[in-house]
Amino acid sequence: MAERWRGIYTILLTPFLEDRSPDEESLRREVDFVVAAGAHGIVTPVNTSEFSLLTDDERRRLADIVIEQARGRVPVVIGTAAATAGTAEALTRHARSAGATGVIAMPPYVIPLDPSGVRDYYARIADAADGLPVVVQNVGGQVGVPMRAGTIVELADAVPSIRYVKEETMPSGHRISELLAAAGNRLDGVFGGSGGRCLVDELQRGACGLMSGCHLVDAQVKVYESLTAGDTASAQAAFVRQLPAQTIWGLLGVGVAKEILKRRGVFSTTASRRPDHELDAYDHAQLDDALKLVQQDLVAEVVA
């Protein structure tokens, strides 16, 4: 049996040049950065990666670069969610041929499908994955189509390649407990999400890890490894130190995460295709203080 996925499966943000074209040099640097920071796996492109604002060709190119740059050092899970089953199937087929370790997808997000349509969507993804593990992303919000625990278990029973769930409907801790109880041994693991803002609670409830943006991946790895080693006090302290930065990110969007990655020497710009808030002088000052607080948990120094 393949080794089960555990730990911080960090989500890459998509770097852009000032003209909003993909920045492939920064993307390669980002892969090396998260591996050096201790990430246990890589996930991309998903919501935090601005996947819905990428063309299908850009998504394929991004997958090629990330898998190539990772060089097998950590598992790479490629996001293949799409508005239609045919597109998701094609993206999954490409991910498998490129060397992905697995794929992740939320249900179609433009026109929600009935249960039989969702089963067909994941069955086609599973067929294209041809034996690779499939992760169901269960999320609400603007683009999500949230599912209850019983529905997810029925889906996993119908599509055996579904081995993991990324659970981020709220309250995520309760949802993870409910899903683990309903699934029994049917799943290999349930990951938390939600920007890492519930990381300790999710792990203590039995989550196998976290899928969240990579700007503070090393701080999240410290929480995970401390908790796994039984050092709850150190895990809680490291978790609290990162909360101010994560809160700013939650309020203002991916521009905050990109600003942190730029300060850390990973990204060349903070350009985004999302219409998020621009950081003003007060935001930058708050971020300065937040990064000073978390700095002791980072492998690479943050330069304010």
- Across the range 76-81, mean pLDDT stands at 98
Task: Spell out the domain ranges in the chain.
Answer: 7-297
pLDDT of residue 140: 81
- DSSP annotation of 112: P
Compute CA distances 160 → 33, 126, 292, whole Å: 34, 8, 46
Question: 163-204 pLDDT, tens per residue?
Answer: 999 999 999 999 999 999 999 999 999 999 988 999 999 999
**Can you tell me the distance from the alpha carbon of 267 to that of 28, in angstroms, rounded to the nearest whole number?**
10
Largest CA distance in the chain: 52
Cα 32 from chain centre? 17
What is the chain's alpha carbon radius of gyration, rounded to the nearest angstrom? 18
**Can you tell me the distance from the alpha carbon of 19 to that of 34, in angstroms, rounded to the nearest whole number?**
25
Cα 76 from chain centre? 11
- Average pLDDT along the chain: 95
Q: How confident is the model at residue 263 (pLDDT cuts 50, 70, 90)?
A: very high
Residue 304 amino acid letter: A
Contact status, residue 176 vs residue 152, Cβ threshold 8 Å: no
Has this prediction a pTM greater than 0.95?
Answer: yes
Contact status, residue 220 vs residue 212, Cβ threshold 8 Å: yes
Q: What are the DSSP E strand ranges found in 226-278?
A: none
In DSSP terms, which residues pair with 134 in a beta bridge? 103, 162
Contact status, residue 45 vs residue 79, Cβ threshold 8 Å: yes
The secondary structure element, H or E, covering residue 113 is none
Compute CA distances 253 → 197, 248, 260, whole Å: 14, 8, 12
Tokens representing 233? 């006090």
pLDDT of residue 194: 85
Q: How confident is the model at residue 303 (pLDDT cuts 50, 70, 90)?
A: low
Q: Which of 18-32, 133-147, 225-239, 280-294 has the lowest mean pLDDT?
A: 133-147
Q: How confident is the model at residue 302 (pLDDT cuts 50, 70, 90)?
A: low
Peptide bond into 171 cis (omega under 30): yes
54: left (phi over 0), alpha (psi -120 to 50) or beta: beta
Which SS3 state, helix, strand or coil, does residue 46 take?
coil
Contact status, residue 221 vs residue 39, Cβ threshold 8 Å: yes
Tokens representing 167? 């659970």
CATH of domain 7-297: 3.20.20.70
